[in-house]
A = this chain, B = another copy of it.
Amino acid sequence: VTTETTASGGSSARPQRADARRNAAAILDAATSCLARDPDASISEIAKAAGVGRVTLYGHFDSRATLVAAVVERSMRESDEALRGLDLSGDPADALVRLIEATWRITYRYGALVVAAERSMPDADLVAAHSPHRDRAEQLIERGRAEGRFRSDVPTSWLVTVLHTVVHAAANAVHDGELTAAEAPRLIEATMLGVTTPPGGVVPAAAP
């Protein structure tokens, strides 16, 4: 769909010199909701949804990959703020379940953006964008290990990677229609309670 092409970016009703910051925010908002629905949403669709011309969009983001990276960075910043208030004290396994519930709600809200990010962003950039989330999980897992509740015979960084990987696998499975969004968090929780239980320990039952 490339019906909307404006040679100078000025064919829309908005004044061309309007607040560039507002345009950039509108483009990010539009990209977030377009990519949440369709990981292959085109620049034309996103520009149209933002109410700007393609040339205006390219004035802010020089490629689709740059735009996807900006959307991912903003979404990570916002979700980090949302998760910062989460109570992760008390039993580490219970705290892990709370972290997964909250992380899933946010991941799910971004829908197919997870898929778009994995298709378009280099691995290292994706890992870097997730660093506040990795740090939060790492702290909880370290505490659980210190308290003997989580396994400490494998590196903490590996457990964090498995958590990240399993959440993303669930998001992809929902996108592909293999899981429903409603059943996903219980599966992630059940899986991670098994992953973190020390060898010789008993796997806790996941919430019903």
A interface residues (Cβ-Cβ under 8 A, vs B) = 115, 118, 123-124, 127, 151, 153-155, 157-158, 161-162, 165-166, 168-169, 172-173, 176, 178-179, 186-187, 190-191, 193-206
Determine if A187 and B123 form an interchain contact, defined as CB atoms under 8 angstroms apart: no
- Most B CB contacts (10 A, CB to CB) among A127, A151, A195 go to A195
Residues of B close to A173: CB separation below 8 A: 158, 161
Determine if B203 and A197 form an interchain contact, defined as CB atoms under 8 angstroms apart: yes
Determine if A158 and B176 form an interchain contact, defined as CB atoms under 8 angstroms apart: no
Determine if B191 and A162 form an interchain contact, defined as CB atoms under 8 angstroms apart: yes
* A191: contacting residue among B115, B190, B195, B201, CB under 8 A: B195
* A197: contacting residue among B123, B127, B153, B194, CB under 8 A: B194
| Alpha-carbon distance A6/B151, docked complex (angstroms) | 57
Determine if B123 and A154 form an interchain contact, defined as CB atoms under 8 angstroms apart: no
Pairs across A and B, CB under 8 Å, 24 listed? A115-B123, A118-B118, A151-B203, A153-B190, A154-B186, A154-B187, A154-B191, A155-B179, A158-B173, A161-B169, A161-B173, A161-B178, A165-B165, A165-B168, A165-B169, A190-B199, A194-B195, A195-B195, A197-B197, A197-B203, A198-B203, A199-B203, A199-B204, A203-B203
Shortest A87–chain B CB gap in Å is: 24
Determine if A201 and B199 form an interchain contact, defined as CB atoms under 8 angstroms apart: no
Protomer copies? 2
* A179: contacting residue among B123, B127, B158, B206, CB under 8 A: B158
| Alpha-carbon distance A166/B165, docked complex (angstroms) | 7
Shortest A172–chain B CB gap in Å is: 7
| Alpha-carbon distance A199/B187, docked complex (angstroms) | 12
